[in-house]
Amino acid sequence: MAIESVVHKVGLLGGGVIGGGWAARFALNGIDVQIFDPDPQAQRKLDDVLANARRAVRKLVMPALPPEGTVTFVATPELAATGTDFVQESAPERLELKVELLRRASTAAGADVVIASSTSGLLPSRLQAEMNHPNRLVVGHPFNPVYLLPLVEVCGGSQTSEAALDRAGVIYESLGMRALRITKEIDGFVADRLLEALWREALWLVNDGVATVSEIDDAIRFGAGLRWSFMGTFLTYRIAGGESGMRHFMEQFGPALQWPWSKLTDVPELTDELVDRLVAQSDDQANGATIRELEALRDDCLIAVIQGLRTVGYGAGEVLDRYEQQLFDRTEIDSAAIDIAQPIRIYERSVPTEWVDYNGHMNDSRYLQLSSEAGDRFLRFIGMDGAYLASQRSFFTVESHVHYIAQCRAGDRLYVTVQLLAHDSKRLRFMTIMCRGDDDTVVASAEHMMLHIDTSIDRVSATDPVIIAKLDEIAVFHRALEPPKQTGHGLGPLP
Amino acid sequence: MAIESVVHKVGLLGGGVIGGGWAARFALNGIDVQIFDPDPQAQRKLDDVLANARRAVRKLVMPALPPEGTVTFVATPELAATGTDFVQESAPERLELKVELLRRASTAAGADVVIASSTSGLLPSRLQAEMNHPNRLVVGHPFNPVYLLPLVEVCGGSQTSEAALDRAGVIYESLGMRALRITKEIDGFVADRLLEALWREALWLVNDGVATVSEIDDAIRFGAGLRWSFMGTFLTYRIAGGESGMRHFMEQFGPALQWPWSKLTDVPELTDELVDRLVAQSDDQANGATIRELEALRDDCLIAVIQGLRTVGYGAGEVLDRYEQQLFDRTEIDSAAIDIAQPIRIYERSVPTEWVDYNGHMNDSRYLQLSSEAGDRFLRFIGMDGAYLASQRSFFTVESHVHYIAQCRAGDRLYVTVQLLAHDSKRLRFMTIMCRGDDDTVVASAEHMMLHIDTSIDRVSATDPVIIAKLDEIAVFHRALEPPKQTGHGLGPLP
């Protein structure tokens, strides 16, 4: 399937934070863009957004992106719309300004070219009022940053055709977005009503001196915000209702709606009809999934999100990081207690879900990851700490040989021993043996050759004598042991 | 540092969804738990929560957890509190019920034992009214699932001591949580006021027939919800304000507060004083970070969260998955067009941030991951598709040898070629060469030996003749090529 066939050239009205984000999303999908924006700083601002977007989207997606589309500034809204097969308006939220821009663009765009507005909450029926062919006006309301967030609300006005709404949906989805059709036109649509409700409550909390902006943000990002990244409030509450689901939840928390738990005390009456509707829609949403299944899905998503944030070291990821450090400290290698007369049991961890591949077992590359993590611990044990790295010295691996011996499953506890095989001032060679904690089955081995590197010039250099002394101390014992049978093994000549 | 020193035994009042979550969080941290819950189903419900929590927490954290604490049911609130060094109440949200439970527990717990309530919004001053030593009552309001979500709001009543609040914070943080101190006691505290505001607005949307529960959830989880998993509304809006920050944002979107974009139209007046306070607090929160830095942080977190969700295949992760499939389809190997006379350029991808380690370059194990991903593509190319796997046949790797040749950085585009070295009915040996896309520098090689496996019995078996025929066809050319110089290499005998 060819994404490029959906649209080839788009016109943008406005190139600010939102318009620039659109420009990036289109261009990075190989689509040419022409922009009208009267701001004298527009080009510079757009270049900044494009630079951010290029960096981010290339990091986000694994496959290669198509060749980037061109981005050209033009002098009028008419020129922006000319010769395009889609137009997106992202001007400031002033009705008369948007109406005029859309009118002008509609005189220049082909009659069947869909024209979308990024408005956060103005009604499409009013936006299309002055247009040629108003039936092709849709709201396509995105979220910042447009080049990363998938959501776009798609909503028509009284004159909008179904065909225009469908076409906008197809175009947005071809860009990697999630088009959410809003069937009833209201101020603020759906997403912004929810955001605005939370925002207004938050402003009251600051106004009343209850909490600071930072505390309010923390109250979201360490709690419900983590759930909201993959499940909305309704599905979350269905799960919270436990085995009896949504009806039970409404019975249990319905009374709280009457309590002053938000500034909005004008709440809908929980009539039987409304509760029935909530329950029926919630059943549809769950689509037969049991509470246990939904709990497992919720938990897997939370784990994935928090572990993802751990790689950035921010928010809940930072909390996890600190917690794991506490746990490591409890099981930290006590250097004095280590018996260096034997292969050193240096590391243990469990197999996370994402290490399992289509064969249902731990992917081959994860054995090397496990061995590499154990190797890092061994390096720390022999003295390669943060200060050593800061002095621009490190060990780089030059060869690894892995033998895969037994399969591992998600949740298996594994431990790793390290046996020093050889070292001199510049080289370090050791073998890791990976074992299952339950029964000490050997699941894999990996032999590594490392070089000591001066990282300021990326050249081989002499290891610090303190580390050499530690290695010498270990070698007295480890060289006296039988080398593991995998030592030195290669696959040998071709048959 | 020893986590176990913080608390050893806790008493829980209530073992439902929240109380059970607390039981899990304490027990998995090695702390013994005694629970009072009059529900005859309590034990079964708790076992379910514990099973969920064990699975989830073991997946979440990398280090080994301490030996699990015991969980014992007791007959009265007094018995639950006896001999503990912390008590947590999680009964239904009925003031008189909670007051009575807390009173009874307070008669049995030591005078300096902190007693916490999980209430979502009842005031601590009222909860502590009947207690012995009411100064040690705190609210410790967690979020479901308690065993995964870090947030706990900590709030005292009029009689609560600073020491009790501090102690609760220390205990919660030792469990891997994030304690947020709420300094001003109000109904709903901070988090639930925000949740409740959004929830009430959402109920109106269903009530008014604007959207279904599923559409409302989608409006969150594909958009703002992704941001809320790491940044709250205020920091997000500061970024949206662009270079001029929070003041600009308030100027631009302030008028919208007067518009009917939510049911709550009673909004705080944006006086100079309030705007100044918002701006000052937002400046504090940003702590000197520029908008560009905050944008990069936001984007990195979004990427991490969406990529995390991709591993679960849910929400925004599913959207990304589908989008990547579109991109892959554009660059998919056209089997007919492949020149098998040369090493087959089978795969390309960019280096994601999380592949980079403390040396600032791609971690050694990730080269094998790249090679393994390329190997999977090669297997698909020779005919190992989903149907083949479903017939319980697959290739398992038994040995890999990696040569690390050049360093790679985040964002580098890499491609991989595969050269078939040898095969027979049960074995498959090939070499991958990994190259940088910019300049064709070879960055690594990996030689793999695989065995064909009957996965129903995990034994070596014969490869399907169709695959053998494809391999024979490739081998005619690849065996005529010079084998890569790394072929067959091992580290050899010890010096």
What distance in Å separates the CA atoms of residue B405 and residue B408, rounded to the nearest whole number? Answer: 10
B348 touches chain A (CB under 8 A): yes
A409 touches chain B (CB under 8 A): no
| Contacting residues of A for B195, CB less than 8 Å apart | 224, 233
> What letter would DSSP give residue B243?
G
A40 touches chain B (CB under 8 A): no
Q: Which residues pair with A180 in a beta bridge?
A: A153
A421 touches chain B (CB under 8 A): yes
Q: Which CATH number fits domain A192-299: 3.40.50.12500, 1.10.1040.10, 3.10.150.10, 3.40.50.980?
A: 1.10.1040.10
Q: Topology of domain A333-478, per CATH?
A: Thiol Ester Dehydrase; Chain A (3.10.129)
Of B266, B281, B311, the CB nearest to A354: B311
Instruction: Determine, for residues A234 and B216 on separate chains, whether the beta-carbon distance falls below 8 Å.
Output: yes
Instruction: Determine, for residues B491 and A494 on separate chains, whether the beta-carbon distance falls below 8 Å.
Output: no
Of A2, A237, A330, the CB nearest to B2: A330
A441 touches chain B (CB under 8 A): no
B 297-336 near A (Cβ less than 8 A):
297-309, 311-312, 314-317, 319-320, 322-324, 326-331
Q: Which residue, among A150, A107, A114, A148, has the nearest Cα to A130 in the 3D structure?
A: A107
Of A143, A305, A319, the CB nearest to B176: A319
SS3 content of chain B, % helix, strand, coil (to 5): 45, 20, 35
Cα B263 to Cα A141, A245, A461, B26, B203, distances in angstroms: 20, 27, 68, 41, 11
Of A233, A282, A316, the CB nearest to B150: A316
What distance in Å separates the CA atoms of residue A365 and residue A355, rounded to the nearest whole number? Answer: 9
B 196-255 near A (Cβ less than 8 A):
196-237, 239-240, 242, 252-253
State the maximum Cα–Cα separation within chain B, in Å, rounded to a whole number.
Answer: 89
Of A230, A240, A483, the CB nearest to B494: A483
Residue of A nearest to B226 (CA): A229
What distance in Å separates the CA atoms of residue A148 and residue B8, rounded to the nearest whole number? Answer: 45
Residue of B nearest to A400 (CA): B402
Of A231, A267, A372, the CB nearest to B200: A267
Q: Tell me the shortest Cα–Cα distance from B220 to chain A, in angstroms.
A: 6
Residue B70, sorted as left (phi over 0), alpha (psi -120 to 50) or beta, turns out to be beta
Q: Tell me the shortest Cα–Cα distance from A81 to chain B, in angstroms.
A: 27
| Contacting residues of A for B398, CB less than 8 Å apart | 403-404
State the maximum Cα–Cα separation within chain A, in Å, rounded to a whole number.
Answer: 89
| Contacting residues of A for B492, CB less than 8 Å apart | 488, 490
Which of helix, strand or coil describes residue B313? coil
Instruction: Determine, for residues B58 and A411 on separate chains, whether the beta-carbon distance falls below 8 Å.
Output: yes
The one-digit pLDDT tens for each residue of chain B (495 residues) are 333 468 999 999 999 999 999 999 999 999 999 999 999 999 999 999 999 999 899 888 877 788 899 999 999 999 999 999 999 999 999 999 999 999 999 999 999 999 999 999 899 999 999 999 999 999 999 999 999 999 999 999 999 999 999 999 999 999 999 999 999 999 999 999 999 999 999 999 999 999 999 999 999 999 999 999 999 999 999 998 877 778 888 888 788 888 888 888 888 898 999 999 999 999 999 999 999 999 999 999 999 899 889 888 899 999 998 898 788 666 555 666 788 999 999 988 888 766 877 787 899 999 999 999 999 889 989 988 878 988 999 999 999 999 999 999 877 889 999 999 999 999 999 999 999 998 999 999 999 999 999 999 999 999 999 999 999 999 999 999 999 999 999 999 998
A394 touches chain B (CB under 8 A): yes
Q: What ipTM describes this predicted complex? A: 0.84
Instruction: Determine, for residues A328 and B63 on separate chains, whether the beta-carbon distance falls below 8 Å.
Output: yes
Instruction: Determine, for residues A402 and B401 on separate chains, whether the beta-carbon distance falls below 8 Å.
Output: yes
In this structure, the number of other CB atoms found within 10 A of the CB of residue A385 comes to 11
Q: How many CA atoms lie within 13 A of A348 on its CB side?
A: 22
| Contacting residues of B for A121, CB less than 8 Å apart | 256, 259, 261
A187 touches chain B (CB under 8 A): yes
Instruction: Determine, for residues A319 and B204 on separate chains, whether the beta-carbon distance falls below 8 Å.
Output: no
What distance in Å separates the CA atoms of residue A140 and residue A138, rounded to the nearest whole number? Answer: 6
Instruction: Determine, for residues B211 and A190 on separate chains, whether the beta-carbon distance falls below 8 Å.
Output: yes
Burial B375-405 (b: 16+ CB within 10 A, else e): bbbbbebbbbeeebeeeebbbbbbbbbbbbb
Q: Which CATH number fits domain B192-297: 2.70.170.10, 3.40.30.10, 1.10.1040.10, 3.40.50.720?
A: 1.10.1040.10
Token look-up 């000197």 returns: B288
Q: Tell me the shortest Cα–Cα distance from A492 to chain B, in angstroms.
A: 4
Cα A315 to Cα A211, A321, A326, B142, B145, distances in angstroms: 19, 10, 17, 17, 17
In this predicted structure, what is the pLDDT of residue A332? 56
Under 8 Å CB pairs connecting chains A and B tally to 660
Instruction: Determine, for residues A305 and B309 on separate chains, whether the beta-carbon distance falls below 8 Å.
Output: yes
What distance in Å separates the CA atoms of residue A121 and residue B182, rounded to the nearest whole number? Answer: 33
What distance in Å separates the CA atoms of residue A283 and residue A289, rounded to the nearest whole number? Answer: 9
In this predicted structure, what is the pLDDT of residue B3? 39
In this predicted structure, what is the pLDDT of residue B47? 95
Token look-up 């043996």 returns: A433
Q: Which CATH number fits domain A3-189: 3.40.50.720, 1.10.357.10, 3.90.1150.10, 3.90.950.20?
A: 3.40.50.720
B76 touches chain A (CB under 8 A): no
Of B64, B256, B259, the CB nearest to A413: B64
> What letter would DSSP give residue A457?
T
SS3 content of chain A, % helix, strand, coil (to 5): 45, 20, 35
Q: Where are the beta strands (DSSP E) in B21-177?
A: 32-36, 71-74, 86-89, 115-117, 137-142, 151-156
CATH topology identical between B3-189 and B192-297: no
Residues of chain A with pLDDT below 70 are 1-5, 328-336, 353-354
A5 touches chain B (CB under 8 A): no
Of B184, B232, B401, the CB nearest to A401: B401
B350 touches chain A (CB under 8 A): yes
The answer to whether B433 and B416 are in contact (CB under 8 A) is yes
A340 touches chain B (CB under 8 A): no
Of A296, A308, A407, the CB nearest to B305: A308
Sheet harboring B151-156: ordered strands across?
B71-74, B32-36, B9-13, B86-89, B115-117, B137-142, B151-156, B178-182
Residue of A nearest to B250 (CA): A203
Residue of B nearest to A423 (CA): B495
Q: Six-digit token pair at B331?
A: 């660059």
| Contacting residues of A for B233, CB less than 8 Å apart | 195, 198-199, 202, 216-217, 220
Token look-up 């997946």 returns: B59
In this predicted structure, what is the pLDDT of residue B334? 63
What distance in Å separates the CA atoms of residue B406 and residue B408, rounded to the nearest whole number? Answer: 7
The domain segmentation of chain B, as residue ranges, is: 3-189, 192-297, 333-478
What distance in Å separates the CA atoms of residue A348 and residue A350, rounded to the nearest whole number? Answer: 7
B161 touches chain A (CB under 8 A): no
B67 touches chain A (CB under 8 A): no
Burial A260-271 (b: 16+ CB within 10 A, else e): ebbbbeebeebe
| Contacting residues of B for A328, CB less than 8 Å apart | 63
Q: Which residue, among A10, A277, A307, has the nearest Cα to B203 in the 3D structure?
A: A277
B356 touches chain A (CB under 8 A): no
Instruction: Determine, for residues A61 and B403 on separate chains, whether the beta-carbon distance falls below 8 Å.
Output: no
Q: Tell me the shortest Cα–Cα distance from B12 to chain A, in angstroms.
A: 19
pTM: 0.84
* One-letter identity of residue A262: S
In this predicted structure, what is the pLDDT of residue A333? 58
| Contacting residues of B for A364, CB less than 8 Å apart | 368, 372, 397, 400
Instruction: Determine, for residues A302 and B149 on separate chains, whether the beta-carbon distance falls below 8 Å.
Output: yes
Q: Which residue, among A61, A60, A56, has the nearest Cα to A20 in the 3D structure?
A: A56
In this predicted structure, what is the pLDDT of residue B335? 67
Of B184, B202, B316, the CB nearest to A210: B184
Q: Is the peptide bond before A145 cis (omega within 30 degrees of 0)?
A: yes
